[in-house]
Chain A
Amino acid sequence: MATSESIITRPPQPGIVVWLKKNLFSNWLNTLLTVFSVTVIFLTARGLVNWIFVQADWAPVVQNLRLYAVGPYPAEQMWRVWVIVYMVSAMMGISAAKWGGTVLAFARALGVAYLLLALLPIALEYLGINTRLMLAGNLLAILAGYLAGSRLERRNRLKARWVLLAWLASFGLTILLLGGFQNVAVLPRVESGQWGGLMLTFLLATVGIVASFPIGVLLALGRQSKLPVVKAMCITFIEVVRGVPLVTILFMTSILLPLFLPDTLRIDRVLRAMLGMTLFAAAYMAENVRGGLQSISRGQYEAAHAMGLNNFQTTLLIILPQALRVVIPAIVGQFIALFMDTTLAIIIGLLELLAVGSAILNSNPQWLLLDMEVYAFIALIFWVFTYSMAYASRKVEQAVGLGIR
């Protein structure tokens, strides 16, 4: 990179007047458009500022922050959620030490985000000093993870596969910790009906993507297979699931599934929704992975066979590792889409973020007409998460050089 920088001398930056003339006033039509745009921007900005700071009543938002975060999860069990949040923060720190670059930038941004949350200009009675301290403490968790991680990394003891395994383990731990156990006094059972808010939204999306990954890979391999029966079954599943709206699949698993299972086997509501999300995501995952598989050149298969590997070994050791690396951006994109699709769980009666908002509006007659405030807030939360994820993924793509040949 350094060499090309030194060879290409950049042309001098044009002055501001030249820039304005070129980009805004190059001809009469452009000038007209500029004037029109400035008017639109001005009116929109004035209306927005007026609405946000003067007209809007943010009471249903600021007074219920905990509900948006975790839904009806019992207050005395909140420490479990905090443990999970800290665990994720520490893992972010360790990953930042392992991979650096964009992951490090992401961890840094996460720390700043926690700090900003802790300093939100909201009355102390709605966002207490304890909560603020707990939020800010995540900064320390990230830092601790980072320091521990870089110590190990310097001694070359931090293997990438261990970090990935730790992520998977922390995911399992999250489910166990949130659910608790029937007869353990320290961790009493919290029925999944009491999970809600942003926490449930994240859980649904994460479970969907993690569980759909192995299924999707198998389906993609099945679709590429030369065995007609296997191929036909895989194609049928993928095309049927992709051909119908997600709502119908969620309805299917939440209402019809109990009919298909023996009376002794009862699956609770959140799990049924997760099953629906997983089936849905698996079909799309399969198509993404198929894209990756198709990008592998024939030479790779031939070379593997020439080395004496059988079909199974070729797929597992040669093809999949290369194919999966190619589809990482697509999988991130799918996670973002799935994250947004979790809102559909409101239709089958789950208390995810959007449903919490609607429940809050109905809980107090004084908030009856404040729909705009609540849903705008929810839209903002989604936008911040999805946009930052998409942004980070784009940066990773550029850094790895995928997509650019």
Chain B
Amino acid sequence: MDSHLPRFLYRKGVPVWRDVVVLKWVAQIVSAVLVIAFIYFLISNLLEAAEARGLGLGYGFLKTAAGFPMAESVIPYDPSRSFGYALWAGFLNTIKVSIVGIFLATILGLIAALARLSTNWLVRNIAGVYVNIIRNIPLLVQLFIWYFGIFQQLPGVNQALSLPGPVYLSQRGLYMVGMLPTGTFSEWLPFLLGGLVLSWLAYRLLLAYQVRSGRATYPALVGLILLIGLPSVGWLIASAPPLEKSVPVLGNFNFSGGMRLTPELAALLAGLVVYTGAFIAEVIRGGILSVSKGQIEAAKAMGLSSIQTLRLVTLPLALRVIIPPLISQYLNLTKNSSLAVAIGFVDMFFVGRTIINQAGQALPVFILIMAIYLSISLFTSLILNFYNRRVQLVER
């Protein structure tokens, strides 16, 4: 030991420059200082630039009038509304595309996955071709094909292509039959929601009772009756039908009635659904293939019918594998919906960019948008972690 050095340089007989505890702290402090210095450098430059060019850094602008129109919006919108409200409308558009897209992509993915697992050679290979083509072409190129190559090239309103349904395709977008709420809709809504909640509750309670007592309580049947029954009762006792069928009719210059998807929304949805559907197909296929043959054989040996095997053995085991990647595909779809900006659909990112062009508040707008996307994905991973912890196999 170098005894000529002062005592405070030693701890438990080890010199500080070789003491692991001290070294770890030094390493952490040094790296933290470096990162903070770098951030300080960036921010001081920003403040300088902001002062020199008169850029605002606050969020006060969110209250001023937006002044730009929006092609479509879930909530009523006009240019006199504020920037903050415009961003909110854009956010709702993003959510709308995501929810509809996730719903349709799951159906497409499920069909494609089942087709890929089919015993029919042709069906199997058609699905394989779909998956291998779609997954290897960038989504943005596909969106360009859908929007510029297909929806922009459709005939004008007067020569609209009519498909069974009736569905009309024209440059103005896609018109189809819609169910529009009438005056009595608000009376009927409680029945609908009540049916949903009660059927779920009844299912869970009856199932728990069945497991505990061993007596058959038919939870699925009761749940289904409640789910369909309550809204039907509500429909019957309402003075007028709460929903009304609305069919698009071609007028002089445009369609009236029905439900309309703008070409931008239709192209974005088509692109996202076809693209994500291919990925979902692979996820589902992988999950189903991951169930080992022994499990199914064991279920058969226990005397379960093939439907029971599917419901009680294959599906629960496959879902455990499928759900986590499936949810991250849903998240990808939501994030990919920001590509809408390239084909002119007004989602949150599009609105944000417009605000930057109009108000010049690049940084605050960007921080806001990134924070929203980030909270969506953090929320998703929270759900995912919760699910993973719940379904984790208890291994011995």
Contacts and interface: CB of A to CB of B under 8 A. Distances in A.
Interface of A: 23-24, 26, 30, 33-34, 37-38, 40-41, 226-230, 233, 239-240, 242-245, 247-248, 251-252, 255-256, 259-263, 336, 340-341, 343-344, 346-347, 354, 357-358, 361, 369, 371-372, 375-376, 378-379, 382-383, 386-387, 390
A233 B144 contact: no
A255 B55 CA distance: 14
B18 to A, nearest CB: 11
A376 B370 contact: no
A228 B120 CA distance: 55
B52 to A, nearest CB: 8
Contact of B145 (A226, A244, A255, A372): A372
B369 A371 contact: no
Contact of A233 (B31, B122, B148): B31
Contacts of B136: 336, 340, 382-383, 386-387, 390
Contact of A247 (B132, B145, B338, B363): B338
Given A227-B28, A248-B338, A261-B42, 17 more contacts: A229-B31, A230-B28, A233-B32, A242-B377, A244-B374, A262-B45, A340-B137, A340-B139, A343-B138, A344-B140, A346-B342, A369-B153, A371-B148, A375-B141, A379-B137, A379-B145, A383-B137
Given A227-B27, A379-B137, A382-B138, A245 B335 contact: yes
A38 B120 CA distance: 12
Interface string B127-148: 0000011001111111011001
The 4 A-B residue pairs with the shortest CB-CB distance in the complex, in nearest-first order = A372-B149, A23-B121, A340-B138, A243-B377
B262 interface: no
A357 B342 CA distance: 14
Contacts of B123: 33-34, 37
Given A41-B126, A248-B373, A372-B145, A33 B363 contact: no
Nearest to B140: A343
Contacts of A376: 145, 149
B28 A228 contact: yes
29 contacts: A24-B122, A33-B122, A34-B123, A227-B27, A243-B373, A245-B338, A247-B338, A248-B338, A248-B369, A252-B366, A255-B356, A259-B363, A260-B43, A260-B46, A260-B49, A340-B138, A340-B139, A343-B140, A347-B341, A371-B149, A371-B153, A372-B150, A379-B142, A382-B138, A383-B136, A386-B136, A386-B137, A387-B136, A390-B136
B45 A375 contact: no
A341 B332 CA distance: 13
B24 interface: yes
A372 B150 CA distance: 7
Interface residues of B, number: 57
A229 B153 contact: no
Interface in B328-361: 335-336, 338-339, 341-342, 349, 353, 356
B135 to A, nearest CB: 8
B252 interface: no
The A interface, classified by DSSP as helix, strand, loop or mixed, is: helix
* Residue in A41, A228, A245, A341 with the greatest tally of chain B CB atoms within 10 Å: A245
A214 to B, nearest CB: 16
Contact of B349 (A243, A247, A336, A361): A247
A13 B43 CA distance: 72
B35 interface: yes
Nearest to B132: A387
B120 A244 contact: no
Contact of A37 (B126, B152, B353): B126
B3 interface: no
Contacts of A24: 120-122
Interface in B1-60: 24, 27-29, 31-32, 35, 42-43, 45-46, 48-50, 55
Interface string B359-394: 000110010011001101110000000000000000
Nearest to B35: A233
Contacts of A251: 353, 366
A335 B342 CA distance: 23
B213 interface: no
A23 B123 CA distance: 10
